[in-house]
């Protein structure tokens, strides 16, 4: 249930390992594209695999669920006002499969979910199908794949599997063992739900630490990249890299699932979100100030190059990207300045006219590095330019 960034690759990989898969998505365009062998998401190597499993008759997409033996809920869990998690898609996907459920079926939620969601869905299932109580298997199993490396990680990562009872955990493990080579770790559903939220909140907090350091170092006149490299020589210190904020659909979202439910307790987790969101605003202000200073000193407007829009290096995924947010702010605030926007991983964009990265860098009076794409590292430092390197291209 759900053929998005996780559901579709999972369906394809499982089908490739011989599982017969019915893929369901409420969006008819997604279903049509998928059945014609075209990938509607961005993931290297996945389209060839999709074509293969469709060709072998192992995978077919539909707009409504078909009678099956196991149901996997892999739909989005966004947040509503006040950063409160919205599990309405999980609930509606569950309601769609309700009439099809039968004794011995497996029902698994993979969507990132607030603690207690699996038990809540079990109650929903048993309240409308009481005859199935104790006769079905219900579990939570979060995904951990890194966008861009999904084919490898879906198979090789360890997974945490938490059933509402031991029999459910066992049944879900048997399913995943068909295509997962990593270890399958057993727990209960609430721990598995919290585990997913914990992993992404941990990374968010660690990045916040690096981002906070970068702001302190800017004020203190210290090279943060050198500082982190030196501090990491300590055997028990491992600081991540600062950047222009945290993007993507996971790390910038999941910590709110903890802080919304435990507002009094989750102080550091909430603060990490603030620090990382604040970093993007800090970067935008730095650029605006550099533009003003250039105008005052040189008596003319600068040409500004904004280097990188993707939410992280070497991908073309712009979802929740802090670089995009910064680009939009600069373009709005500095409407009379010539701004060249660069994203080497995409050909064109509806909102921005894109410029080739070398051309933009060469023309720029102010070069702003937002996303650390590898090709940018071939560019040479220039004392003639103002360079705002927020992601450590030059590490100067």
Residues at the interface with ligand SAJ (CB under 6 A) = 143-147, 199-200, 203, 207, 240-241, 243, 246-248, 250-251, 311-312
- Neighbour order of strands in the sheet with 137-140: 70-73, 106-109, 137-140, 159-163, 184-188
Q: What is the C-alpha end-to-end distance of the chain, expressed in Å?
A: 48
Question: Hey, is 163 helix, strand or coil?
Answer: strand
Of 144 and 385, CB closest to ligand SAJ = 144
Question: What's the min distance (Å) between Cβ of 80 and ligand SAJ?
Answer: 19
Of 169 and 214, CB closest to ligand SAJ = 214
Of 246 and 388, CB closest to ligand SAJ = 246
Strand partners, 221: none
CA-to-CA distance for 191 and 197, rounded, in angstroms?
10
Question: What's the min distance (Å) between Cβ of 46 and ligand SAJ?
Answer: 15
Classify residue 2 as left (phi > 0), alpha (psi -120 to 50) or beta.
Answer: left
Question: What's the min distance (Å) between Cβ of 125 and ligand SAJ?
Answer: 25
Cβ neighbours for 59, distance < 8 A, ≥ 6 positions apart? 11, 12, 15, 21, 23, 50, 53
Of 77 and 169, CB closest to ligand SAJ = 77
Which residues are the active-site residues? 196, 250
DSSP for 212-281, please give it: HHHHHHHHHT--HHHHHHHHTTSTT-------S---SSSTTTTHHHHHHH-TTT-HHHHHHHHHHHHHHH
Question: What's the min distance (Å) between Cβ of 351 and ligand SAJ?
Answer: 19
Of 98 and 217, CB closest to ligand SAJ = 217
CA-to-CA distance for 302 and 383, rounded, in angstroms?
15
> At 186, which helix (H) or strand (E)?
strand 184-188
Question: What's the min distance (Å) between Cβ of 20 and ligand SAJ?
Answer: 26
């Amino acid at each position: 249930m759900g053929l998005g960034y996780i559901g579709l690759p999972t369906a394809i990989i499982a089908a490739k390992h011989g599982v017969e898969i019915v893929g369901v998505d409420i969006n008819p365009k997604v279903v049509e594209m998928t059945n014609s062998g075209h990938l509607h998401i961005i993931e290297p190597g996945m389209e060839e695999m999709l074509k293969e499993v469709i060709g072998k008759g192992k995978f077919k997409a539909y707009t409504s669920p078909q009678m099956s033996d196991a149901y996997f809920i892999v739909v989005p869990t966004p947040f509503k006002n006040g950063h409160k998690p919205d599990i309405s898609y999980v609930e509606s996907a569950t309601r769609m499969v309700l009439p099809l459920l039968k004794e011995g079926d497996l029902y698994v939620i993979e969507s990132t979910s607030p603690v207690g969601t699996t038990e809540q869905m079990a109650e929903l299932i048993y309240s409308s199908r009481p005859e199935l109580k104790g006769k079905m298997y219900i579990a939570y199993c979060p995904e951990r794949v890194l966008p861009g490396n999904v084919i490898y990680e879906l198979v090789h990562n360890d997974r945490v599997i938490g059933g509402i009872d031991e029999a459910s955990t066992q049944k879900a493990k048997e399913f995943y063992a068909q295509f997962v080579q990593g270890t399958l770790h057993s727990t209960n559903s609430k721990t598995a739900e919290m585990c997913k939220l914990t992993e992404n909140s941990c990374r968010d907090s660690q990045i916040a630490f690096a981002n906070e350091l970068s702001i302190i170092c800017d004020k203190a006149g210290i090279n943060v990249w050198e500082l982190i490299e030196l501090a990491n020589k300590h055997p028990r210190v491992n600081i991540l890299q600062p950047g222009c904020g945290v993007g993507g659909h996971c790390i910038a979202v999941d910590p709110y699932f903890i802080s919304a439910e435990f507002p009094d307790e989750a102080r550091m987790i909430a603060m990490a979100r603030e620090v990382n969101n604040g970093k993007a605003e800090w970067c935008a202000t730095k650029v605006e100030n550099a533009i003003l200073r250039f105008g005052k000193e040189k008596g003319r407007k600068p040409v500004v190059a904004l280097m990188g829009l993707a939410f992280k290096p070497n991908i073309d995924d712009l979802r929740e990207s802090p670089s995009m947010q910064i680009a939009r702010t600069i373009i709005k605030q500095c409407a009379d300045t010539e701004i060249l926007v660069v994203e080497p991983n995409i050909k064109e964009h509806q909102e921005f006219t894109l410029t080739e990265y070398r051309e933009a860098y060469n023309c720029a009076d102010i070069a702003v590095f937002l996303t650390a794409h590898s090709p940018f590292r071939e560019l040479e430092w220039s004392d003639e330019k103002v360079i705002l390197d927020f992601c450590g291209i030059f590490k100067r």
